[in-house]
Amino acid sequence: MTDQTDSELKGKVAIITGAGRMRGIGRGTAVALAQMGANIVVTGTGRDHASFPQDEKDAGWRDIESTAEQVESFGVKALPLVSNIADQSDVQRMVDATVAEFGRLDIIVNNAAAPKGTDRVSVLDLEADVFRTVMDVKVMGTFFACKSSVAQMIKQGEGGRVVNLSSTMGKSGRANTSAYNAANFAIDGFTQALSKEVGMHNITVNSVCPGLTDTSRLDAMGRTDGWDARVAEVPMRRAGTDEEVGELIAFLCSPRAGYITGESININGGSITER
């Protein structure tokens, strides 16, 4: 293959969770890091192909395998892994498999989240098991992945990067999103705490807070009046892209961001400006 990468992250190894969607922040991040020279472990849940959106079916998309192919087109290596991020032993297996394949782990990007759907109701109508699933995937999954990944980074003694995906919903509450709000507020607080624990090891920990981003996760909204109304709330009058969010994450994983830690960084076209 033609080597189209730069060398900023050459030899580094990154895990990206929730990276199987064709239109998704995980895929955009995997590609951005691959372009910088990193080898990538691409994880996902092993979705049933019957559940794929029509554009993925039309494109012959194969979940994490297709993301891995995009990664490898930049002349780096990819390892696709099916993993249950909400299961601590499975997360440890993911990290162990990464080290067995590549000999190291330098970057963890915690992107996995429960599907948008039955959680988007009022608190009075929200089922406890739905709330728990959102928290298990987003919060417990991030905790498990950080616990295992950071332990490996400390063992290596060469520093590392942790990027946790939060949301503007981690900055401001919105009606009928209580589970998602709670999960993302938790991610931002967890990020701040962990950054203070591991800074001495030259490990940075940041969260990225996207606003309205045009990914398959939001397909349930459609792209008609409801979508247009949400876009109209954004000062830049457009949704973000998975590539734009991926580029920000890649920057935070680079040597250029070595003194940025404990931050929750917005990328939302100006819709939320507070810290």
- Token readout for 77 is 């290596």
CA distances from 255 to 50, 155, 157, 267 (A): 41, 20, 16, 20
111: number of Cβ within 10 Å: 30
- Token readout for 122 is 């009022």
Give me the amino acid identity at 85.
I
Cα–Cα distance between 143 and 104 in angstroms, integer?
20
Q: Classify 83 as helix, strand or coil.
A: coil
Give me the amino acid identity at 74.
F
Choose, from 180, 181, 182, 253, the residue flagged as catalytic.
Answer: 180
Cα–Cα distance between 83 and 42 in angstroms, integer?
10
Active site residue 180: yes
CA distances from 47 to 21, 63, 98 (A): 10, 7, 21
The C-alpha angle 58, 60, 63, rounded to 5 degrees, equals: 120
| DSSP assignment letter at 124 | G
- Mutual angle of helices 141-156 and 88-102, in 10-degree steps: 30
Query: Which positions are annotated as active-site residues?
Result: 180
